[in-house]
Structures are given as C-alpha cells and as structure tokens.
Structure 1
C-alpha cells in the first residue's frame, strides 16, 4: 500500500508540473504571451458564458478579493477583460471577456478538452466513473487539507 501511495503521489505531482509547464510553453509561443498562467486561469473562471462578480471569481480561484482586483486591473489594461456595471444597480460590477479574452478562453478550453480526451482514452464508462470519484476525493481533500504540524511524530 505504501508503495502504491508513493507511486501515485509521484505521478500526480509529475502530471501537475507537466500540465503547468506545457500550458506555460504554449502560452509563450502564442499571440497571448503578455499574460501569465494565473491570469489565464482567471480568464477561464470568468468564462464566456456568465458575467460573474469579482467575489464569485475570487472564490473559485481561491484568492483574496485584493489579489483578484490587481489581476483584473492588469487584464483590463491588456484588453482581455471588461467590467460590466449593473443596469439596475450600478454598484454591482460583473466581469466579462473582450473579443481577445474570448479567443484565449477558447484556445485554453480546447487544450483542456484534448487533454481530458487523451486522459480517458481507452477507459469504459465504469472506469471513467472510478477516475471521477478519485478526483472528487482529491478535490474534497484539497478543500480542507489537514493542518501540517512541524512537531516530531506528527
């Protein structure tokens, strides 16, 4: 069992690093080299299909409102994101994508669709359900990770 845990941990960390490395490399080769991976993931969360509030986006990205505000300011300046004031209440501001933002959103979405198709290639529905359950278990753990104690024996 311990060998399985080490092997799976190694694969998870390697795959995570590989995904980030490939995304970064592809971003640098594209016409969108002026944004970071974090900004790209913010664009992904903002999405083309909803006009979310900043607090909704910050929550999904698990960042503070201040961090998101700084990132959105940069994305607005770079021409990827727009702020949309509410018609009924001008104090409510939602985020949307510009044409340029939609282009990078589609490219990033396409990359992820191809990656997931390759990931589940050759698996039947039952096996895919097991993979999904394992990923949901991991996600639940990451939402509330245990406290890391530096004391000996913990």
Structure 2
C-alpha cells in the first residue's frame, strides 16, 4: 500500500478505535447511561464554575442548537443543571451535578489510563517524536480546517 493510503487508513482506524473503545469503557466499566457525545459535552463543561452555553458550544465546535439537544438529554439523566442569568435572562449557563462530576472523573481516568498505556509502549525518544508529530497534525487541522482545540 502506498504511504498516503497507509496514513489515511491509520488516521481513520485509530480515530474510530479510540471512539469505540471509549464508548465500550463508558458502557462496561461504569453504570453511566451516556453516549460518547454526551460524555464529551460533560468534559467540555468541566468541573469548575458554570459555563455559558455559547462557550460550551464553541469548545465543542457545534451550534448552540445542537448543544441544547445534548444538554436536554443530560438534564433528564441528572448530569447537568441549567440556569438563566439573573441580570440577562438571555444568557444560559450550565454546570455539572454531583452525578455529572462523577462521570467527568471517570472520563478523565479513562484518558489518563489510555495515555499511560501508550507511553508505556514507547521509549523517551519515540514519545517525544509522537508528541511533536501530533502537535503538527493538530496545528494543520486548526489552520486548514479551522478546527479549534
């Protein structure tokens, strides 16, 4: 297989594997009733102060309308709470409930374990090269496809 085809296959394959594994971990290693998309919404909200819906949508690179659908599901499942601003009722803020914070912590632990496992397979030089390469790839997508982190 030529190099371009191999790279394309690897990018698609690795991306899909990470998502499938993450979905399986959410389903099997916890009793969370969440999709990967919902988990990423929880991750974007974070465990700090409440966030404006527009800021969460920007962080996820989705529209506020799309986020509203996800937030409504997370509200019904008890993972988030939504409040309107007292000074400006148009501003909608969201924050995680205790259940949401537990889901956030489980998700963080999954990612930490994934990175630890990957790094355990690499020597110091390989880890440095992988990090540098992924930074370049991330920058490429940011510049050429306006994909913000």
Q: TM-score with structure 1 length normalisation?
A: 0.79
Q: Flag structure 2 segments of 5+ consecutive residues without an equivalent.
A: none
RMSD: 2.3
> For residue 31 of structure 1, what is the aligned residue in structure 2?
31
| Mapping of residues 5-154 of structure 1, within 5 Å | 5-29=4-28, 30-33=30-33, 35-86=34-85, 89-91=87-89, 92-121=91-120, 122-124=122-124, 126-143=125-142, 144-145=144-145
- Tell which has more relative contact order, 1 or 2 (C-alpha 8 A, sep 6+): 2
SS, match of residue 94 in structure 2: strand
Structure 1 unaligned regions, length at least 5: 147-154
Give, in whole Å, the separation in 2 of the partners of 1:129 and 1:86: 45
Question: By percentage of residues, which structure has more helix?
Answer: 2
- 3-state DSSP of counterpart to 1:63: coil
Aligned residues: 142
Specify the structure having the higher radius of gyration (Cα). Answer: 1
The structural deviation recorded for 1:140 is 2.6
User: 2-side partners of 1:134 and 1:94: how far apart?
Assistant: 37
Distance 1:66 1:86 in 2: 18
